[in-house]
Amino acid sequence: MNIARLVHPGFWFDKTPLDDALALAKQGVGGFCLYGGTRQQVADFSAAVRRVSPLDYLLISADYEDGLGRWLPDAPLLPSNMALGAANDEALAFEKGFLTARQARSLGVDWVFAPVLDLADNSLNPIVNTRSFGKDPQLVIRLGRAFLKGLTKGGALSSLKHFPGHGDTTTDSHVALPILTKTREQLLARELVPFQTLLPFADSVMLGHLLLPEIDETNPASLSPEIADKMLRRQFQYDGCVLTDALLMKAIGDEKQAARKALEAGADILLVPQDPFSLLDFLEKEHIAPEIISRSHTHQNALCAKIKNAGVRPTQQVAFSSTDFSYRTAQKAITLCGTLPILSAGQTVHYLILGADGKISARPLLDALKNQQIKLEPFDTKADHLLVISLRRYQAFQGKIALEDADMYRLKNALKTTSKATAVLLASPWALPADISLHAKLFTFSPAPEFQETAAEILLGHRVPHGKMPVNF
């Protein structure tokens, strides 16, 4: 049997050579996980690697957790899971899953690595944040189940992640190994509740790169027989496809040895290695047990069969047709803490933008206010009304979520000379320290244009916020 099928390399548009991907496809890798690109690039790539693959079917996957717009500039950014948690609406969670599945499938992507079932119960977690539905396991179960139904209805495969729960950590596993010092009983009471409940409805489970020393002192969950085999497969009786989180992440050390240990622990798929060619050579020489290879092939065959029965792919025109989904979600999700000073036409408002990363902008919010005759000025030395806009969000490989010291210095100085201050947090709800004194905080949980424009309507008193905070401060 083909050992190469157990490896699913990553492909970064405008970075990874296409010839490398074609060579890997010809070698028989089981699929590719895609990063970036445009709609046309994704569609062309999916078709190209499938044409040369010797497999009956090649699986194409992506981390489209917030719709395709998180990775594709010409696709819509859908509401974050935390926005859905604030809206507390299962119909919206279903719709997000359905839209994501339809849009992904129209480009040839059949496998969406979602939903995230990690609990948002640690404000210092630099990588989960708005990817989570919230802190309450029952909320996560209800919305996660609805999202899964939407994905399935839309014809895409799903993946629960990051087993056994990455929420209550303070380390980004892209840069180091997080440690979760909880007992098995504590995990069963919180972190594992959503996974255990939703396993029967999932197409796959992604193992997290985190160390749980109370269960396995040596191996991260993704490489641990205690967690991947004894807990997931035996205790929870899960007999579906299990994959590692990306092997190129820095949490697991040498990826060749990590790959071997992951397979022996119970993983079926080795996802996104740093050097797939080298890993394939290594696995060929390692003489991996035939039953491990057979198990992986069986589980991947089941996924392929499900996709083949999912029906005809929708066209891009149909899948990306206009929808008011994000507007409807924003109107139910945006959450207010404090007493909001309402803005009025002709008023001068100074603004201070914090946490900019060059990839998202507050332009939709500012333009919406300007269109209602609000006079906007960048903050200089003094303001009657200050609008603090936080763009801070989770980002892989950054290692932290708090604002930079320079931004905190600017904020504290600005507040000294401001009469009224309102904050609009367009991503992380924990971006501003709790001890910062503000008249009001408006939480959108998403930088999508529809959320920014709805936030402007609330600032102007044209709309009332209805969201309920799904996390603690």
> Looking at beta carbons, which pairs linking 87-90 to residues 24 or more positions away fall under 8 Å?
87/329, 87/332, 87/333, 87/466, 87/467, 88/139, 88/143, 88/468, 88/470, 89/329, 89/332, 90/142, 90/143, 90/145, 90/146
Report the C-alpha gap between 96 and 80 in whole angstroms.
9
Report the C-alpha gap between 8 and 267 in whole angstroms.
12
Say whether 203 is catalytic.
no
Catalytic residue, from 8, 162, 166, 174: name it: 174
| Residue 65 CB-half CA count within 13 A | 24
Taking Cα atoms as reference points, which of 463, 375, 378, 472 lies closest to residue 430?
Answer: 472
Q: Residues for the chain: how many in total?
A: 473
Say whether 110 is catalytic.
no
Report the C-alpha gap between 28 and 463 in whole angstroms.
55
Q: In what order do the strands lie in the sheet with 241-244?
A: 160-163, 204-207, 241-244
Torsion of CA 219, 225, 226, 230, to 10 degrees: 160
Let me know: does 268 contact 5? Beta carbons within 8 Å. no
Taking Cα atoms as reference points, which of 3, 82, 58 lies closest to residue 287?
Answer: 3
Q: Which residues contact 34 (CB under 8 A, 6 or more apart)?
A: 10, 11, 13, 42, 45, 60, 61, 62, 71, 109
b/e map of 421-437 (b: 16 or more CB within 10 Å)? bbbbbbbbbbbbeeeee
Let me know: does 139 contact 88? Beta carbons within 8 Å. yes
Catalytic residue, from 216, 245, 268, 407: name it: 245
b/e map of 121-133 (b: 16 or more CB within 10 Å)? bbbebbbbbbbbb
The catalytic residue positions are 174, 245
